[in-house]
């Protein structure tokens, strides 16, 4: 019991440290990178204002003060959700991002769940029958998906399913003019293609991990015992191999978030899905640095939280962590 608490405390400490490193990075990057820090912190719009106004802005944001004062100022603003103001969107950056984040999660969460289930199932069967024709075929298929740029597969899907077969809409989140249940169905219809693309990628990633994990477990002594006892193959696979291979997968699902984040950002752009990805794409084009910083912070926080939850779950589930001190 105490070791579990120790384990979680240790992890918590590490996550808090990571979090500080991340926000400090975002404090330092605009001040160390080439170019005028004022411009980097306040955005390119500063170009178009008068020198007096620049001085005023500088004073207002405390940029004329020594670095440690600026840092304290930055931390306070960060905690209060005061992340700057986006002139393009006429809104505080924090509000813009939170609104967009919702739409990214709409794609990301189903893709992570479906992809994990699909990859786990196929992966464990392939690992169980390793060396068979089925294994070779599925492994090479998933390896090929694994090697593709996500957004390119998205473009291919649009070409086939939207352009030629006309089964799904080309882009966007919903057609507009609909409400209630109708709107819900409309959104589902719009998200089918992007979610499928992302599911395929997450499945290929989980497939490879699950397959390896099953291969490793099935070489252990207790599997030999189970077979020697005359248990049916199915029972051995699902009761003995699967359960043991499943444990690292709890962590994997959380890690999927980190892995899928870059994928979802790029896939969104292809589908003109108004989430974080298109937000970042537009911010890159406009060199809207404050907005980019905000996006990075939110994504980093989401990834940290997902990983932390995975670690806690792992500690709760794995008797080895429960009993002895691991990590």
295 part of the interface to another protein, by CB under 8 A: yes
Residue 30 in the binding site for another protein (CB under 8 A): yes
Candidate segments 75-83, 102-110, 286-294, 312-320, binder of another protein by CB under 8 A: 286-294
265 is a site residue for another protein (CB under 8 A): yes
**Tokens standing for residue 82:** 């005061």
CA nearest neighbour of 290 among 88, 99, 104, 100: 88
Q: Is the dihedral of CA 272, 277, 279, 283 positive or negative?
A: negative
189 binds another protein (CB under 8 A): no
Site for another protein contains 39 (CB under 8 A) = no
Find the binding residues for another protein in span 78-107 (CB under 8 A).
none
37 touches another protein (CB under 8 A):
no
Contact flag: residue 261 with another protein (CB under 8 A): yes
Helices of type H across 80-179: 93-128, 133-147, 150-157
Contact criterion met (CB below 8 Å) for 314 and 247: yes
**Residue of 169, 273, 293, 321 that binds another protein (CB under 8 A):** 293
Nearer to another protein, 117 or 148 (CB): 148
Comparison of 124 and 204: residue with beta carbon closer to another protein: 204
Contact call for residues 327 and 7 (beta carbons, < 8 A): yes
CB 111 within 8 A of CB 200: no
What's the min distance (Å) between Cβ of 184 and another protein? 28
Alpha helices by DSSP H, the chain: 2-32, 37-42, 51-60, 67-79, 93-128, 133-147, 150-157, 180-217, 221-228, 233-235, 242-271, 276-286, 289-317, 319-323
By CB under 8 A, residue 300 contacts another protein:
yes
Q: List contacts with another protein (CB under 8 A).
A: 14-15, 17-18, 21-22, 25, 29-30, 33-35, 40, 130-132, 135-136, 139-140, 143-144, 146-149, 151-153, 155-156, 158-159, 163, 219, 258, 261-262, 265-266, 269-270, 280-281, 284-285, 287, 289, 292-293, 295-296, 299-300, 303-304, 307
């Amino acid at each position: 019991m105490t070791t579990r608490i120790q384990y979680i405390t240790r992890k918590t400490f590490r996550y808090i440290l990571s979090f500080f490193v991340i926000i400090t990075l975002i404090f330092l990057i605009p001040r160390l990178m080439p170019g005028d820090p004022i411009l980097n912190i306040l955005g390119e719009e500063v170009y178009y204002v008068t020198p007096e106004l620049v001085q005023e802005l500088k004073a207002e944001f405390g940029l004329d003060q020594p670095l440690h004062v600026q840092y304290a100022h930055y931390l306070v603003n960060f905690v209060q959700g005061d992340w700057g103001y986006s002139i393009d969107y006429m809104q505080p950056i924090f509000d813009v991002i939170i609104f967009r984040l919702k739409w990214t999660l709409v794609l990301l969460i189903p893709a992570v769940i479906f992809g994990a289930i699909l990859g786990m199932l196929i992966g464990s069967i392939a690992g169980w029958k390793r060396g068979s024709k089925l294994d070779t075929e599925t492994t090479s298929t998933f390896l090929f998906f694994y090697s593709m740029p996500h957004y390119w597969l998205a473009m291919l899907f649009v070409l086939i399913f939207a352009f030629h077969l006309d089964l799904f809409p080309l882009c966007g989140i919903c057609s507009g003019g609909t409400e209630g249940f109708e709107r819900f169905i409309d959104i589902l219809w719009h998200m089918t293609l992007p979610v499928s693309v992302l599911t395929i990628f997450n499945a290929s990633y989980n497939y490879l991990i699950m397959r390896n994990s099953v291969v490793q477990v099935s070489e252990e002594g207790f599997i030999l015992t189970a077979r020697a006892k005359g248990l049916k193959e199915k029972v051995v696979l699902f009761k003995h191999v699967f359960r043991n291979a499943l444990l690292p997968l709890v962590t994997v699902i959380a890690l999927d978030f980190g892995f899928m984040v870059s994928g979802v950002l790029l896939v969104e752009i292809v589908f003109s899905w108004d989430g974080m990805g298109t937000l970042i794409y537009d911010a890159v084009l406009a060199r809207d640095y404050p907005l980019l910083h905000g996006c990075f912070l939110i994504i980093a926080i989401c990834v940290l939280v997902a990983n932390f939850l995975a670690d806690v779950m792992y500690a709760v589930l794995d008797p080895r962590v429960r009993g002895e001190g691991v990590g």
